[in-house]
Amino acid sequence: MEFLRNYIDLIIFIILGIMAFIAFWCVVERILFFRKIDFKDYKNQEEFDDAITENLTTIYIIYSNAPYIGLLGTVIGIMVTFYEMGLAGNIDVKSIVIGLSLALKATALGLLVAIPTLIAYNALLRKISLLSNRYRMKKDA
């Protein structure tokens, strides 16, 4: 329990930080790709759609799992708080409230990673839809 008490926040923050970095990198990569896209480089609609949707699964995985990583940190923080209360043998309201409030920061950070990633994911989906329609129109014309 000592290890969890000392390092759970750091572990959760590192995991969420890595997830945020990967999501940011994927979004930037897609934006840069969309700026230089040339419809002539693709033979058919399927090849074009495969190219424009690359990295979207990674972004989806991050936005859907970041809150769970944060929640895991919160649950472990709460477990540690109750374990320490049990060892102390007394119930001090101040220590309970402090322990629980500190545990909740992991959930907040998970949401802080997930919400902007979800916004970016939906914006990229819209852009992909527009590009796919534009490609289809150019091929039909």
Q: Nearest Cα to 54, choosing from 75, 33, 72?
A: 33
pLDDT tens digits along 64-123: 999 999 999 999 988 888 888 888 777 777 877 887 887 899 999 999 999 999 999 999
Q: Which amino acid is at 45?
A: Q
Residues of the chain with pLDDT > 90: what percent? 68
Whose tokens are 């500190």? That residue is 102
Least confident range from 15-19, 52-56, 84-88, 129-133: namely: 84-88
The reply to whether the predicted model has a pTM over 0.85 is yes
Average pLDDT over residues 37-48: 92
Tokens in use for 98? 């402090």
Of the two residues 133 and 86, the one the predictor is more confident about is 133
CB proximity list for 13: less than 8 A, separation 6 or greater: 106, 109
